[in-house]
Amino acid sequence: MPRLPKLRPDRCGSRRRYKGAWAAIVLTLGMSLGVSPAQELPPASSMPAGGPVAPRPAAGGGDAAVVSLVEEGLLDAAFGSVFGDAYAPGRWRPLPLRTFFTEGWGEAWACGPEGRDGTTPRHGWLGAFGGVFYRLWFTSLTYRHDLAATPGGDAYAGDYVLFLPLSRRLEVAFDVPFATGNGTSSPRSGYARNVGDFTVTPRVLMSESRAATQVLTLIVRTPTGSTLEGNRVTSLTPRYEFWTNPVGSWVFRGGLGPPIPLNQGRGSSGPGTSIAGDIALGRYVRPHDVPVGDLVFYVACNFDVPLRGTPEAAHVGLGPGTRFHITNNYFFTQFWEFPVARSHAQDYILESAIVKVF
């Protein structure tokens, strides 16, 4: 993915020209040709999950010289979104909900400002990554301690996630679980190691202002993993996500949507339709241009409540998280989740990631 020029005090994260990532351009052009704006209306971190931004002054936006509308067409907008200088001052402008069908589809993506007062970059947090458009990739490792389901033991998963904006209104995220593992009841298998289910997520920006963003997403999960780790699930998850800076250096964000399994028949032990979501509140305590810059501490809650079955089957997890800048638009982020409902799928979850904004 992205290489690295020089970090500049912009609002969204990295501020560099993108050079030499042929895989990214192939993905970008392919999605640009295959997706029409009108068709994306159903679909937003997250992913879950998950964000982007970094530096100091008002990158690509704020009240600095609001640029006039430039509609370029889907291909030109996609190319400019991936390879253009999305963090240039004055490039960003608000997009209201009332112009959803008429503005932004053919305009290259520009990173939004850092909130009301320039102290809350539009970052993604593990456990609550949605609500904002990003141009980044991250690699995460998740550890689950003491699984409740037979045969028990621990589990791990490694993920690679790529966010590619194609215009001001349209983005696509790719989630590649390259490693999953847990114990098995078979003495011959011992510990199962496989890959997880590949996920593609079209994301549509509903509206964006200095202090708030609304996004719709459609998470498309494909049955490419192994059933030994609870994968090989086909599902669709439409989600509404939001990010807002209500006051000072505080950020409030969340998302909600029903995971709808498509390959689970009657009597199947796989997941059924449920209502799943997340909500998080955090505060930034360090500016960008200092050691451990853009330091934020937050608390996030994730929940998954089945629409059928007993309330005891609901999952509710709560825990703390943090994120900070390392160097050259690389960030470290971590999240701990502890079950607080009666049903405990595991004792706790620890997720860590390295994020690269480009």
Per-residue model confidence as pLDDT tens digits over 121-158: 999 999 999 999 999 999 999 999 988 877 778 889 99
Q: What are the distances in angstroms from CA 313 to CA 115, 139, 319?
A: 38, 30, 20
Query: In sequence order, what E strands does 59-169 have?
Result: 136-145, 155-165
Distance CA 120, CA 311 (A): 37
- Mind listing the pLDDT tens digit for each residue in 180-213? 888 766 655 566 778 899 999 999 999 999 999 9
Among 125, 130, 135, which Cα is nearest to 60's? 135
- Mind listing the pLDDT tens digit for each residue in 226-276? 777 778 899 999 999 999 999 999 999 999 999 999 987 544 455 678 999
- Please name the residues in contact with 347: beta carbons below 8 A apart, sequence gap of 6 or more: 145, 146, 338, 339
- Give this prediction's pTM: 0.79
Q: What is the mean pLDDT of the chain?
A: 81
Mean pLDDT in residue range 112-125: 95
Q: Which structure tokens are listed for 342?
A: 């009666």
- Mind listing the pLDDT tens digit for each residue in 163-185? 999 999 999 999 999 998 887 66
In this predicted structure, the answer to whether residue 54 has a pLDDT above a threshold of 50 is no
86-90, 275-279, 284-288: least confident range: 86-90
Do residues 355 and 124 make contact, with C-beta atoms less than 8 angstroms apart?
A: yes
At 307 the pLDDT is: 85
Confidence of residue 12 (pLDDT cuts 50, 70, 90): low
